[in-house]
């Protein structure tokens, strides 16, 4: 697909975000590519005509997002229904989802404008919190939905069903329900597996379970999970992608299933997923002799 319009989104709390986005705007202008700005960064840069993220997603061929993973997650939840490709420019310190580094912006976009790029569709999860017959909240996540005890020094009881079948009642600090994309986020810190992000799978990972044999479970992506809170003291907290939180009361039920929407990420033209993983997690240094021989072939 030829890219004629690009939308710019940025975390305006990041230093030099205006400098970086303005520089990109100038370069794209020379390439005869029309640039539209999301309203927050447009206001910060003093540019008129900024539009909402949702409107931007319906108008452009590509979204360029400056920030960290949190900015990508916020953007993904807002634009998933439109299927617009997203390329992340890393202004943070870690950034699994922002695959392009600052010093690679021009070279990466040069290739993207030439059509020399690949995208990857990442599954999302729909989350519904109900109290009796009343829906308290609903939303989609790219990384995870987390039910935890908040600041209280006690465990919570979470009765869990998968596809209508009782699994167990977790007595734990909480429960992480994650996508493969989110497997390198909170779930990884809680001892969960790393799952290749292109898979359609759901990871169920208890946080510090009282029963030590409660281990992470990987389910097919089309399974439906139901989690009921039975702790009677002060409830718990449901957090979506680490950004939106809701209070959960005893008896509330949380339903989690694969969303019909996806997040379409543009892959880095400069490195593979495995290279990103090695870099972010500090895995092994130089390749073995076998690796060197393969490169020489």
pLDDT value for 292? 54
How many domains is the chain partitioned into structurally? 2
pLDDT value for 114? 93
Residues 179 and 196 in one domain: yes
Residues 181 and 114 in one domain: no
Q: Write down how long the chain is.
A: 297
- For the cut 80, the answer to whether the pLDDT of residue 234 exceeds it is no
Residues 234 and 274 in one domain: no
pLDDT value for 84? 96
pLDDT tens digit string along 80-96? Answer: 999 999 999 998 776 78
The Cα 225–Cα 246 span in angstroms is: 18
Structural domain harbouring 50: 5-118+267-288
pLDDT value for 290? 60
Q: How confident is the model at residue 106 (pLDDT cuts 50, 70, 90)?
A: very high
Q: Give the mean pLDDT of 214-219.
A: 97
- For the cut 60, the answer to whether the pLDDT of residue 256 exceeds it is yes
pTM across the whole model: 0.91
In a domain, 109, yes or no: yes
Cβ atoms of residues 38 and 53 within 8 Å: yes
122: closest CA among 176, 59, 196, 57? 196
Residues 203 and 250 in one domain: yes
**Residues sharing a CB contact under 8 Å with residue 6, sequence separation 6 or more, in sequence order:** 28, 33, 34, 35, 36, 60, 61, 62, 63, 64
Active site residues: 69
pLDDT value for 289? 64
Range with the lowest mean pLDDT among 134-138, 202-206, 232-236, 237-241? 232-236
pLDDT tens digit string along 140-169? Answer: 999 999 999 876 678 999 999 999 999 999
The Cα 177–Cα 146 span in angstroms is: 6
pLDDT value for 286? 61
**In the block, which residue shows the tokens 């960064």?**
41
Q: Give the mean pLDDT of 65-78.
A: 94
In a domain, 199, yes or no: yes
In a domain, 107, yes or no: yes
């Amino acid at each position: 697909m030829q890219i004629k319009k690009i939308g710019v989104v940025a975390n305006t709390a990041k230093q030099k975000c205006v400098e970086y986005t303005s520089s990109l705007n100038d370069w794209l202008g020379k390439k005869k590519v029309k640039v539209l700005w999301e309203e927050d960064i447009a206001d910060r840069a003093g540019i008129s005509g900024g539009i909402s993220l949702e409107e931007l997603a319906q108008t452009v061929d590509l979204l360029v997002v400056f920030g960290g993973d949190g900015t990508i997650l916020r953007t993904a939840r807002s634009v998933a229904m439109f299927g617009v490709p997203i390329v992340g420019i890393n202004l943070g310190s870690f950034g699994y989802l922002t695959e392009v580094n600052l010093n690679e912006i021009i070279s990466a976009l040069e290739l993207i404008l030439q059509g020399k790029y690949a995208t990857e569709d990442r599954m999302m999860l729909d989350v519904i919190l109900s109290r009796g017959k009343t829906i308290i909240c609903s939303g989609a996540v790219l990384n995870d939905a987390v039910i935890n005890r908040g600041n209280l020094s006690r465990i919570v009881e979470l009765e869990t069903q998968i596809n209508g079948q009782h699994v167990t009642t977790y007595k734990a600090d909480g429960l992480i329900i994650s996508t493969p994309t989110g497997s390198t986020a909170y779930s990884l810190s809680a001892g969960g597996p790393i799952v290749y992000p292109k898979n359609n799978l759901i990871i169920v990972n208890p946080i510090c379970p009282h029963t030590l044999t409660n281990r992470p479970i990987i389910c097919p992506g089309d399974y439906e999970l139901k989690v009921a809170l039975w702790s009677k003291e002060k409830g718990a907290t449901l957090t979506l992608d680490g950004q939106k939180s809701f209070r959960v009361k005893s008896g509330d039920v949380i339903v989690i299933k694969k969303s019909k929407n996806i997040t379409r990420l543009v892959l880095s033209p400069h490195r593979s997923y495995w290279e990103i993983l090695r870099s972010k997690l500090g895995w092994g240094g130089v390749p073995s002799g076998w690796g060197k021989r393969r490169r020489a072939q």
